[in-house]
Amino acid sequence: MSISVLGGGAFGTALAIALSGQRPVTLWARDPADMQINRENKTRLPNCRFPDALTVTGDLAQALAAQTILLALPMQQLRGFIKTHAYMLAGKSLIACCKGIELSTGAGPVQIIAQEVPDAHAAILTGPSFAVDIARGLPTALTLAVADEVVAKALQAQLTTPALRLYRTKDTVGAELGGALKNVVAIACGTAMGAGMGESARAALMTRGYAEMQRMAAYRGADPDTLAGLSGFGDLTLTCTSEGSRNYRLGLSLGRGEVFDAGTTVEGAATAQAVAQVARQAGLDMPITMAVAGLLDKSLDVKAAVHSLLTRPLKEE
């Protein structure tokens, strides 16, 4: 069965390159001309050549001839896009490849797909993976979450490559929360490192951040084991420790008091605000998330954020 990837950013391009080693793949982008001429995405993923089996198009109808559609758009753009094109997406397998929580509703990507295209098979592909690693064919393992076991097995087989190993789960809520929440913790870790607080502080933020991820996951009915897997703990580890992560780099610049490029896709920024809202409404204790949200909306500076974390009442771990 054919595959199309919608979204010509770094991740969509990387997935299209990786999957087209196995079969023909169509990559849809709203501005495809440069990629069609150069057979490379010079803006978002330079120095990764397109295989011959990869077709780049700006014609959405052509891309939507495929049954399996990977949606590699930024999180806050997802609903608008699929709402506009819902009539063409009906009945397909729609696999969200974005990480985040919608600011206006608190929904995750699978929930959004299910709301906007109810008769599609809604899935998410998530886990520790930098686009450049996937495009270069480096070994990578990801979580594929789909509620329907039969669909899950078929998609797992279709999207696995010799270098890209997929583990499946039915827990779509846990998978989407892991990928969304780890970005918020990565901003916190980057901030700590940028402000010179050291590796021990980062380890504390990762661990206590993970406790917050588990708390939100339990509130939303996710399986704690999913959070301990690739989509949660796995991606937390990668994103909180590597300058390859844009979320971590945003944190570094916050910690250093530098300006960060506003055009960069940093999913944890909107997600921090979205999660803070949900946590406030639900009465969940998520102090690291609140500190990150405060840093980003400028209601806290780094010194005040650290003070807010270190002066909390003492408690059991």
Ligand X SMILES: NC(=O)C1=CN([C@@H]2O[C@H](COP(=O)(O)OP(=O)(O)OC[C@H]3O[C@@H](n4cnc5c(N)ncnc54)[C@H](OP(=O)(O)O)[C@@H]3O)[C@@H](O)[C@H]2O)C=CC1
Ligand Y SMILES: O=C(CO)COP(=O)(O)O
The annotation places the binding site for NAD(+) at 7-12, 131, 246
Cα pseudo-dihedral 92, 97, 101, 102, rounded to 10: -50
Of residues 19 and 97, the one with the C-beta less far from ligand Y: 97
Active site residue 182: yes
Q: Which of 42, 83, 92, 182 is catalytic?
A: 182
Tell me how many residues contact ligand Y (CB under 6 A). 12
175 and 128 Cβ atoms separated by less than 8 Å? no
CB of 130 to ligand Y, least distance (A): 5
Binding to ligand Y (CB under 6 A) within 93-112 occurs at 99
Q: Provide CB contacts within 8 A for 115, sequence distance 6+.
A: 79, 107
Question: What mask, x for binding ligand Y by CB under 6 A, covers residues 115 to 154?
Answer: -------------xxx------------------------
The reply on whether position 247 binds ligand Y by CB under 6 A is yes
Rule CB under 6 A: say whether 176 interacts with ligand Y: no
Cα separation of 243 and 315, whole Å? 33
Q: Which residues pair with 56 in a beta bridge?
A: 27
User: In this chain, which of 73, 113, 201, 291 binds ligand X, going by CB under 6 A?
Assistant: 73
Considering the rule CB under 6 A, would residue 5 count as an interface residue with ligand X? no
Residue 172 interacts with ligand Y (CB under 6 A): yes or no: no
Smallest CA-to-CA distance from 238 within 137, 164, 130 is with: 130
Per rule CB under 6 A, is residue 238 in the interface with ligand Y?
yes
**Among ligand X, ligand Y, none, what does residue 239 contact (CB within 5–8 Å per kind)?**
ligand Y
Q: CB-wise, 171 or 235, nearer to ligand Y?
A: 235
- Residue 78 and residue 125: Cα distance in Å, rounded? 15
Least Å distance between CB 103 and ligand Y?
Answer: 17
In 3D space, the residue among 175, 288, 284 whose CA is nearest the CA of residue 227 turns out to be 175
- Write the DSSP assignment of 129-164 as a string of letters: --HHHHHTT--EEEEEEES-HHHHHHHHHHH--SSE
Q: Which two tokens stand for residue 193?
A: 């490192």
Cβ neighbours around 179 below 10 Å, total: 35
Catalytic residue list: 182
Binding residues vs ligand Y (CB under 6 A): 99, 128-130, 183, 235, 238-239, 245-247, 267
